[in-house]
Structure 1
Amino acid sequence: MLGLPLLEQVIHNKWGVYERWCTAHNADPVNCQIATVLDFLQEKLSTGTCPATLRVYVAALSACHAPVDGVPSRTRIPSWDLAIVLEGLVETPFEPLESVSDKLLTLKMFFLMAITSLKRIGDLQALSVVPSCLDFAPGMVKAILHPHPDYLPKVPFSTLHPVIFEAFCPPPFTTPDQERLHRLCPVRALQTYVHRTSQWRKSEQLFVCHGGHNRGAAVTKQTMSHWVRDAIALAYEARGHTSATGIRAHSTRGVASSRALAGGAPLQHVCDAAGWSSPHTFIRFYSLDVHVTLGSHVLESTSQASV
């Protein structure tokens, strides 16, 4: 189907194969029993379909098949709107960035890094400010970050690549819109954060506590998760909206990757950035229909900053 993002093409194609198989076997593809699905997968395996392709079939069937025994399938509708959050982050109380509180600087910076890197909270926690792990390119055109050498990733066989952030809509500006978009630049936010925290940080870990008796100390993954939820809530409030409920920090990976794919980013690039070994993981657990919310109207250039 022309015009569909690559993810939807993959699901459509695999589901079409399954539908044709069901028609030939007088089965309802949407409401059949699990035994029928297993028969289909077994036949595919017996005729030489590789395990990786079988996993894609499973993902497609999981996305399109009706709930079984009353168990609902995973929702593909985002619980919050990326467009609203980004619009909230470019105005008060998150700007001007140089004079906002340590808390608001931290929330904005961390959200932008989470949404543009697609990394797990644990991967972000492993980033460090030591010179060998953090480098700003001349002119602040990019920032290159490496995890601490002792860090063990959640997926043991994954290769640790540096996290690279490109400057977003950098100066000089020719229109007010360009200056406004630059407020979403992760390099700008990171440089401001590193400079600010250098005055009171007590840890080489990039992300540190912004207040209380632990100010400057290394932050926990639980606290970092709270930062994501707080940033979303405050951005919604800044735009005059009631914040969505049930927001999970982990959802940034699904929202950002789905938006990047919908904006034209290659599926394999999205998977590589997020650390997923195959498209199956994304399709099965993270893909979201970003076209059903205001997220379809997100700033055009958001997808360019997402991977």
Structure 2
Amino acid sequence: MVLRSNIPPRRLAVGDSGQERSPISGAGDNISSPARALEPSCLAPEGDQLRDAGLPADVVETILSARAPSTRRSYALKWRVFESWCVTHHADPVHCQVVSVLEFLQEKLSSGISPGTLRVYVAAISACHTLIDGVSVGKHPLVARFIRGARRLRPPTRATVPSWDLAIVLEGLSGTPFEPLESAHVRFLTLKMFFLMAITSLKRIGDLQALATSPSCLDFAPGLVKAILHPHPNYLPKVPFSTINPVVLEAFSPPPFTSPEQERLHLLCPVRALQIYVHRTSQWRKSEQLFICYEGRNRGAAATKRIMSHWVRDAIALAYEARGQASPLELRAHSTRGVASSTAIARGAPLQQVCDAAGWSSPHTFIRFYSLDVHATPGSHVLESTSQSHV
């Protein structure tokens, strides 16, 4: 994946920077869809508190729209769990005392919930609960000390080595049943295309979901030497920027081939896979979203982020099976970002350039959450070939 300064970025209009936009979802020709209706059980208490403070209705609506749609859905889910707990314990979820909140959190901690997830529960409760002792639930001294205690009792662990070997996956994707792509089952075509896009772009699933096939969003350079993909104009990334850079895929080992090895490596070219995927799916495509469902009653409709996450795991598992090896345990779709970014850094890519490509707000995010010991993974050098040593 290459970010080029000569590719004009999409700028967010000043008036749009504070608006929430939904990621691409659903079927049909209209790629953008209204933000999903959020559960009133979470938003109503928070909105009531803001209105009780004397704020106008339109101001309240703008404040409620400050969080990303995915965050609002997560809060709504966590709030429903807390509401249900309060009902069984005869407590008012909006006005209960801090002891009730702490009892709820302790029950979740004892059940195996991680301290990180507990913080999401606290944030969701804080958004809807009234102030306790003049402060929000999340800033209450006892709640803050509880979270610190939970982290000390159960410190977070992070794998320093990915559970899967990139070299094995790429080798598996180079043969049957993924090749030849022109005649492979559309399932294997989709899985291979999506994995190559994820591993070479460093993008989040939501960013990949925003890519589209419309002429204004997808352009192949003459000779298929590169492909330029812009997100749909209605897309707002998880980490907002003043500009939204396109994804630029460069062809890998393009023809004419000078050796059988070049021809073999060209099977991993993301531009080639993208061109074949767009051509083959055009006959039954129902949405301009780039990645669409390939089977069932939703065939041709826009794929959801959940489906795309399954695609990454399925691609890794099937690639391992194609090489005659057992699928790795505990596969996570998000691990592609750690593998790709860490390998790029190990091969000399500038840290800030990697962060800009991946959409991280600062290098600290990469170092803390995504940096992996790629040198401990045999064959990780293969990524250098597929990405042309660029970010």
Deviation at 1:184, TM superposition (A): 0.4
Q: How many residues end up aligned between the 2 structures?
A: 241
* Selected match of 1:196 from 269, 280, 296: 280
Note if contact 1:260-1:304 (Cα within 8 Å) is conserved in structure 2: no
Deviation at 1:304, TM superposition (A): 2.3
Structure-to-structure mapping, 1:185-264, within 5 angstroms = 185-264=269-348
* Selected match of 2:155 from 48, 57, 71: 71
The answer to whether the aligner puts 1:268 opposite 2:356 as a matched pair is: no
Residue number in structure 1 paired with 2:128: none
* Selected match of 2:378 from 260, 284, 294: 294
**Cα deviation per residue 1:118-164 (whole Å; 9 max; x = unaligned)?**
00000000011111011000000000011111001111236311111
* Selected match of 2:255 from 171, 174, 181: 171
Equivalent position SS for 2:244 = coil
Structure-to-structure mapping, 1:120-159, within 5 angstroms = 120-157=204-241, 159=243
Structure-to-structure mapping, 1:68-147, within 5 angstroms = 69=153, 71-147=155-231
* Shift in CA distance, 236/224, structure 1 to aligned 2, threshold 3 Å: same
Equivalent position SS for 1:135 = strand
- Distance in 2 (alpha carbons) for counterparts of 1:164 and 1:220: 23
- Distance in 2 (alpha carbons) for counterparts of 1:199 and 1:306: 34
Percent same amino acid at aligned positions? 79
* Shift in CA distance, 107/233, structure 1 to aligned 2, threshold 3 Å: same
Deviation at 1:181, TM superposition (A): 0.4
* Shift in CA distance, 277/83, structure 1 to aligned 2, threshold 3 Å: same
Once the two structures are overlaid, the 10-residue window that deviates more, 262-271 or 280-289, is 262-271
TM-score, normalisation: structure 2:
0.60
Amino acid at match of 1:271: C
Question: What residue ranges of structure 2 are gaps of 5+ in the alignment?
Answer: 1-150
Deviation at 1:203, TM superposition (A): 0.4
* Shift in CA distance, 296/128, structure 1 to aligned 2, threshold 3 Å: closer
* Shift in CA distance, 184/306, structure 1 to aligned 2, threshold 3 Å: farther
**Cα deviation per residue 1:15-50 (whole Å; 9 max; x = unaligned)?**
xxxxxxxxxxxxxxxxxxxxxxxxxxxxxxxxxxxx
**Could you list the runs of 4 or more consecutive aligned residues of structure 1 that deviate by over 6 angstroms after TM superposition?**
none
Amino acid at match of 2:265: L
Note if contact 1:259-1:303 (Cα within 8 Å) is conserved in structure 2: no
Residue number in structure 2 paired with 1:64: none
Amino acid at match of 1:162: P
Deviation at 1:297, TM superposition (A): 5.0
- Distance in 2 (alpha carbons) for counterparts of 1:293 and 1:144: 31
TM-score, normalisation: structure 1:
0.75
Q: For the pair shown, which has the larger CA radius of gyration, 1 or 2?
A: 2
**Cα deviation per residue 1:217-271 (whole Å; 9 max; x = unaligned)?**
0110000000000000000011111111111111100000011111121111111
Note if contact 2:347-2:389 (Cα within 8 Å) is conserved in structure 1: no
Residue number in structure 2 paired with 1:56: none
Question: What residue ranges of structure 1 are gaps of 5+ in the alignment?
Answer: 1-66
Note if contact 1:128-1:146 (Cα within 8 Å) is conserved in structure 2: yes
Amino acid at match of 1:229: R
* Shift in CA distance, 103/117, structure 1 to aligned 2, threshold 3 Å: same
Deviation at 1:302, TM superposition (A): 3.7
Amino acid at match of 2:331: I
Deviation at 1:272, TM superposition (A): 1.1
- Distance in 2 (alpha carbons) for counterparts of 1:195 and 1:161: 25
Note if contact 2:344-2:384 (Cα within 8 Å) is conserved in structure 1: no
Deviation at 1:301, TM superposition (A): 1.7
Note if contact 1:147-1:162 (Cα within 8 Å) is conserved in structure 2: yes
The answer to whether the aligner puts 1:182 opposite 2:275 as a matched pair is: no
**Cα deviation per residue 1:80-102 (whole Å; 9 max; x = unaligned)?**
11111001111111101101001
- Distance in 2 (alpha carbons) for counterparts of 1:131 and 1:72: 45
